[in-house]
Every structure is written in C-alpha cells, then in structure tokens.
Amino acid sequence: MKKILIYLATTLIILAAGAYLILNEKLPSGDNPQKADELANKMLKALNKTAWDSTNVIVWTHKGVHHFVWDKKNQMVEVKWDKNDVFLNLKEWNKGKAFSEGKEITDGQLDVLRGKAWAIFCNDSFWMIAPYKVFDEGVSRKIVKTEDGTEALLASYSSGGVTPGDSYLWFLANDLKPKAYKMWVKILPVGGVKATWDNWKTTETGAIIAQTHILGPMTITIENLHTGNDLTAVKVDATLFDKIK
C-alpha cells in the first residue's frame, strides 16, 4: 500500500510539473518604448480616458459578492462583503472605520478588516480600470510582436497596488479597445494566463469600461456599474463618507 501511495504521489508531481512546463509562458521582453507609448495613448483615446479622469464617483459590484462606492475625487471608498462594511480614507488610514453585522469594530480586528478591504479594492478595481493605469507612476511600456504579426502592449508595474512587479500584455481589437491580456502576476503559479475584456459599457460620465472577463473556466463580472460627478448622481447618500473625513 505504501509503495502504491508513493507511486501515486510521484505520478502527480510529474504530471503537475509537466502541466507547468506546458502552460507556463516566459515573460516577453518587448522593445520600442516610444512606439508603445503611442499605442497606449491610442488605446486610452478609444476608452475616453479624459472622461475617466473627470469621473468623481463610481459604484459597482464585483462577481456578485463585493460591493463598492468609490469617491475617486475625495479618495474614499466603501467596501462591502459578507457581513462586513468597511470605509477607507485613502489619504488618512487611521480614519478608516469597519462594521460587522452593523456593529462598529474598534479592537484589533479593525486593522485586519481595513487591510482586507484594501486588498479587495485593489484587486477588483484593477479588473475594472486596468487599461486606464498604463501610464501610472512606476509603469514601463514596451511593444511585443505577436505570432500573427500584430503588436501587443506590455505594461510592467514596478510599484502600486498590493502586488508590484506584475506585468500584463494587452491585445487590442481593431477599434483599439482591449480584447484580452495575458498576465504574469505573483498570485498565479504560471505565467501568461489569458483573460478577455468584453461587454464594454459607456458609463454616465462617458468613461468606457469592460464588464465581463473570461479567465479559463471562470467568468468575472462587473455589475450595477454607474458613474457620476457626486454621490447623489449614483443614488448614494451624500453624507456616506462624513464619518471618515
């Protein structure tokens, strides 16, 4: 019996290693950063980056489980999931508050919930606005020639969010909107995992955002998406963030 278990374990290790070698892609090096900047700017124009920059408030639901009210102008965000309701002041972390089942958390769990809310916000907002972030501080851009002869945009992040060092290879459609990207990120064990960018919506402020991503067998959805110039424009109480100003 022991020999059979050892055999099975060895077989699984070999299969896992084989799958890794087959699925894992090496991060392409890319070149021509000047041309990459030109392509990135064309993509941003197609997505109306100017409208995104002037958008003050965004509300949305990520995969039906995480709910957000983001006051981008004043750098505050509400993150709701399960029984938790966390308010983050992105300028002054000590003002952030957390509630669970309607009761305010004031003990050591406060920092735990604020940290988790921050990680959720970073991940979920990136799935919504990643194309707008290709010129963020610490991002380098290069051109990668694809197998079919087209050009893809490689964006590598040396800072920002919770996983600096990640890279994304953007594939653009004929209208210059992203249709997919491949990822080289710390949270995934293999490089080159592909996700689609589909179901584009022109929001109330004119910003254009993809609402569906197919990632292998998983579908990532962005629902109840609305943008506005203030909280009342997205049907949110204007005093929502007063407690953490």
CATH, residue 99: 2.50.20
In a domain, 2, yes or no: no
> Per-residue pLDDT for 160 more than 70?
no
- Rounded to 5 degrees, φ, ψ at 18 are -65, -45
Mean pLDDT along residues 135-157: 93
In a domain, 6, yes or no: no
Helices (H), the chain: 2-23, 33-46, 49-54, 109-129
What is the pTM for the complete model shown? Answer: 0.87
- Rounded to 5 degrees, φ, ψ at 66 are -115, 130
CA distances from 229 to 9, 203, 237 (A): 57, 12, 13
Segments of the chain assigned E as strands = 57-62, 66-71, 76-81, 84-89, 97-100, 103-105, 139-145, 151-157, 167-172, 178-184, 193-196, 198-202, 208-215, 218-228
In a domain, 5, yes or no: no
> Per-residue pLDDT for 155 more than 60?
yes
Total domains, the chain: 1
Instruction: Please write the tens of the pLDDT for every residue from 80-130.
Output: 999 999 999 999 989 999 999 999 999 999 999 999 999 999 999 999 999
In a domain, 3, yes or no: no
Structural domain containing residue 85 = 27-244
Query: Order of strands, edge to edge, in the sheet holding 151-157?
Result: 139-145, 151-157, 167-172, 178-184, 193-196
The pLDDT of residue 147: 83
> Per-residue pLDDT for 234 more than 90?
yes
In a domain, 239, yes or no: yes
In a domain, 8, yes or no: no
The pLDDT of residue 14: 28
Residues 26/191, Cβ–Cβ less than 8 Å: yes
In a domain, 1, yes or no: no
Neighbours of 91 (CB within 10 A): 11
In a domain, 150, yes or no: yes
How many CA within 13 A on the CB side of residue 239?
Answer: 1
Tell me the β-bridge partners of 105: 98
